[in-house]
Structure 1
Amino acid sequence: MAPSTRTLAAAALLILSQTLPSSAAGTVDVCLQIQDAISSASAVYFPGDLLGNYAADLSHWASSSSQLAACSVEPGTADDVAAIIKILGSTNTSFAVKGGGHTANPGFSSTTGVQITMTRFSGVTYDAASETATIGTGLVWDSVYEALEPFGVNVVGGRVSGVGVAGFTLGGGYSWKTNQFGLTVDSVTEFQLVKPNGDIVTVTPTSEPDLFFGLTGGGNNFGIVTQFTLKTHPQGQVWGGLILYTEDQLPAVSDAIAAFANNVTDPKAAIIPAINFLLGAQTRVSHLMFYDGPTPPSGIFDDFLAIPALLTDVSTRSFLSLVQAAPSNVTTGDRGFFHTVSLVEYTPNIISAIINETKFWGSALTLAGATFISYDIEPFLPTLYTHGAPGVTTAYPPSRTTPGAIPLNLYFAWALPTSDSIIHDALVASAQQLTSVAQGEGQDLSELGLYTNYALYDTPLERIYGANLPRLRQIKASVDPEGVMGLAGGWKF
């Protein structure tokens, strides 16, 4: 008689037990319980999986965000998610939930226990009557834009290729469309949520206002989201793309960034200039431009276009084409951390300080194996927080009565695990230096929350959620009294 799947799985774990952490190897019984409980729409994979699903399920954009799990689970229905979460809670088993796998915080969507990967939640359904799209949490934004393109509509989503829908949305979501329509959480009309007790609910601002508030920026504290419903907006061709500048053009680029950040008020226009230091080479600028229309008005981007460039890929194109001109996976496989500073505005002095930080840390971290140092400048209009539905508040940002927090993304990549703490400390020091520069100019940053999807893993929750934190903790205690979601990583209330 052929050996059972249970026997084969146990044998595979036994063979690989020397490479698995002991905590992961001890979770095999829970994996097998899950395998017995789920339907044929779902699957469990173990180390040694010949099809490669296990490795793919564990893989993250930054290698430092991956861990070796006892098994991976790909649920295919909300009912199966409910069965899985009830088993994990009853057995007190650590787990993780991965959408696109783009987090740079270790352990936020990985585990040595049970890895849940949402890849089978891959549907995109457009409802013309309600002008909404329902989107599965296993997708990256590229797939969403591709599915909606034939309908001539779009949603407020990620700006570069390869970013996952789930973490991006549950963390807030800054978009090319944010100046027009707000953050991604401002476009959410409902969540399908599997609560920690296994209940499957549709969460709207009226059905469960507290829980809706918690999910709009509060991460994975309240259960497992299987799909989002977002407002759509008409989408035609856009203009923009990527320009690369060499170090000798930094003064002109810096002037152009400052002029754009402080003078351009057209909500359809946006830029992301990234000041980069790569493999000990000269500092370069990878500059993204966007206009939500086939042709931008004259004057908006003229300063950038007049600067001699190493490479130019700018044209009238589809929204998807523009997003894919900027892959987020340039350094895939390296270790990587993000961190952030929230600003009131980008002044010439701050832009100069960012360039100095790039050069300083690019050189200082060479011996630590740094492969890529990047500071992404992301100017937005001060009205970016004014687009939410009347009377609907969100977990992030912590305040909508102050000017919108304008984020700066710090991204350091490196090769060796032995340098993790060095890179961490460098990011903290650099963020503090730039915060001090802004405060020295008189910018009041006290109520500007740090962006959840950029903040380094040990950032105090008060710096992200501010005055919203007590309410979020109350909601968490009400929805998850047994602390099931505390078995997973992420920002924990």
Structure 2
Amino acid sequence: MRAHTRQLVAPLWLLSLSALALFATLGAADTTIQSRDTSSTCEDIASAISSASAVFWPPEYYFEEDIEHYISSSSQVSTCSVEPGTAEDVGTILQILGSTNTSFAVKGGGHASNPGFSSTPGVQIAMARFSGVTYDASAGTATIGTGLVWDDVYAALEPYGVNVIGGRVTGVGVAGFTLGGGYSFLSNQYGLTVDTVQAFELVLPNGTVTNVTASNVDLFWALKGGFNNYGIVTQFVLQTYPQGQVWGGSIITVGEVDAIKNATSNFYANVTDPKASIITTFNWLLGVTTIEVNIFYDGPSPPDGIFDEFMAIPAIDQDISTRSFLSLVLSAPSNATTGLRGYFNTVSLYAITPSIMDAIVNETEFWSSTLAVDVPSLFISYDVEPFLPGVFSHGNASAWPPTRAQGVLPLNIYYAYSLPASDALVSQAMQESASFLTQFAVEDGQDVANAPRYPNYAIYTTPLERMYGNNVARLAEIKAQYDPGNLMSLCGGWKF
């Protein structure tokens, strides 16, 4: 374990101030030019789109809604926002953006954790009007708009007694989650969300609306994990599965670190029932470490023994019951940090062992004590996510994961805070923590030095090869085929 006296590379205040000065210097002149040129582009879009779509300007209400993100550092003040209401209008918008070389962003649910990935000082495309959920009982599929969050999808499908493979906590957007892979409470049974996609409605960079299925081998493969490199996805067709009542909810404890560590590593080592799932989260806020465990069983009650160790731990709050799937997702207090700045980062593991649990707790304590004085409103969270080793066995080849030989357990690292001056310091700390834990896991016997990182959690500095491995070259070739003018480079995100 690392000593709590270790120092960062440079003094904390110097990193923060120098980063703030750099961003201010680089951004001032460019923003003025961008706004003046982009206003004309916004007017061109407003004139060209149909009545199903609309352009909004600051400080209009819908403009503010269109640019807002769960993590405030993921938002930027755009020149205008546009809400397309048809796929054809998306094509029109793309053509105007390309002809004027205007930067833009595409926002689905607004849960992006990397700055500039779904925001821009240019034209903000908000997919809010793509909000339909249509269940086809004969096909066993649901067609889902990319402007939704998973809460909306679960609510729409609940009356039919079916579900799709989606997010585990409230507020997570459908679009980025699906295009990046998608781990679910149901993944041990059915795979990742990308494994259940039957079709993508995609607007290509040339403005053409197309339905991408498995018959289009390259493009279908690339969209399963390749994000927005190939155009703008407006709808997904997902496989549905029967869904009855589930059992679970959340347990919150203070002062029970050892008991939770043991219960979590024992769950991973011993529970093989694919209907059972947990997320163990070590949180630090205001000098107190609290632990939240989200428990899930896909049935009205679990078999004896699966969760007994967790249920026996003294809790300050326990919300466990038989309930609907939607009720369970809504029970997790995951929106408590809404509006703060922050980042995600990740470590890929192959096993949850007692020693790696010790290291994760140590990191929570080390970075909270190191950063607390210098980072106002600091919140630190390490989320441990056990899955069965065969979690990748349910799907076929896809852009992500680049290999399905062994299931990856994605550790989610999340730091939140209040001030822009802390951006560089927090980013550096999170990257150092991920590197430390990766090396610790290697020394502990896990061959994860080159394990693919989960792109939905990876911090913005992560090299493409660390997520997509040998798939990078093929993804770039497909990108060049469908976007020869490189239009999609005008928006943020992972770019091939």
Q: 1:432 aligns with which of 424, 432, 435?
A: 435
| Residue aligning to 1:126 | 135
Question: Is 1:404–1:448's contact at 8 Å kept on the other side of the alignment?
Answer: no
Alignment of 1:487 onto 2:490: yes
Q: 2:300 aligns with which of 291, 294, 301?
A: 294
Amino acid across the alignment from 2:338: T
| Residue aligning to 2:111 | 102
Question: Is 2:78–2:122's contact at 8 Å kept on the other side of the alignment?
Answer: yes
Question: Is 1:398–1:447's contact at 8 Å kept on the other side of the alignment?
Answer: no
Question: How far, CA to CA, are the matches of 2:112 and 2:88 in structure 1?
Answer: 26
Amino acid across the alignment from 1:266: D
Question: How far, CA to CA, are the matches of 2:87 and 2:290 in structure 1?
Answer: 46
Amino acid across the alignment from 1:375: Y
Matches within 5 A, 1:264-343: 264-279=271-286, 281-343=287-349
Alignment of 1:234 onto 2:242: yes
| Residue aligning to 2:375 | 368
Give the aligned length. Answer: 468
- 1:21 to 1:348, Cα distance in 2 relative to 1, 3 A: farther
Amino acid across the alignment from 1:113: G
- 1:327 to 1:229, Cα distance in 2 relative to 1, 3 A: farther
Alignment of 1:255 onto 2:266: no
Q: Return the offset for 1:329.
A: 1.8
Q: Return the offset for 1:103.
A: 0.7
| Residue aligning to 2:404 | 400
Q: Return the offset for 1:22.
A: 3.6
Q: 1:244 aligns with which of 252, 256, 260?
A: 252
Unaligned segments of structure 2, at least 5 residues = 1-27
Identity %: 59
Q: Return the offset for 1:47.
A: 1.3
Question: Is 2:439–2:449's contact at 8 Å kept on the other side of the alignment?
Answer: no
- The secondary structure found in structure 1 opposite 2:392 is coil
Question: How far, CA to CA, are the matches of 1:81 and 1:393 in structure 2?
Answer: 29
Question: How far, CA to CA, are the matches of 1:201 and 1:370 in structure 2?
Answer: 46
| Residue aligning to 2:415 | 412
| Residue aligning to 2:392 | 385
TM-score normalised to the size of structure 1? 0.94
Question: How far, CA to CA, are the matches of 1:336 and 1:57 in structure 2?
Answer: 19
Matches within 5 A, 1:31-110: 31-49=42-60, 52-110=61-119
Alignment of 1:147 onto 2:156: yes
Question: How far, CA to CA, are the matches of 1:131 and 1:482 in structure 2?
Answer: 38
Q: Return the offset for 1:362.
A: 1.2
TM-score normalised to the size of structure 2? 0.93
Amino acid across the alignment from 1:67: Q
- The secondary structure found in structure 1 opposite 2:329 is helix
Q: Return the offset for 1:19.
A: 13
Question: How far, CA to CA, are the matches of 2:354 and 2:33 in structure 1?
Answer: 53
Question: Is 1:163–1:328's contact at 8 Å kept on the other side of the alignment?
Answer: no
Question: How far, CA to CA, are the matches of 1:71 and 1:419 in structure 2?
Answer: 28
Q: 1:458 aligns with which of 461, 468, 481?
A: 461
Question: Is 1:399–1:448's contact at 8 Å kept on the other side of the alignment?
Answer: no
Question: How far, CA to CA, are the matches of 1:100 and 1:79 in structure 2?
Answer: 21
| Residue aligning to 1:158 | 167
Question: How far, CA to CA, are the matches of 1:152 and 1:312 in structure 2?
Answer: 27
- 1:277 to 1:221, Cα distance in 2 relative to 1, 3 A: same
Alignment of 1:181 onto 2:185: no
Amino acid across the alignment from 1:44: V
Q: Return the offset for 1:481.
A: 0.5
Question: How far, CA to CA, are the matches of 1:172 and 1:132 in structure 2?
Answer: 18
Question: How far, CA to CA, are the matches of 1:436 and 1:172 in structure 2?
Answer: 25
Aligned-CA RMSD value: 1.3
Q: Return the offset for 1:447.
A: 4.6
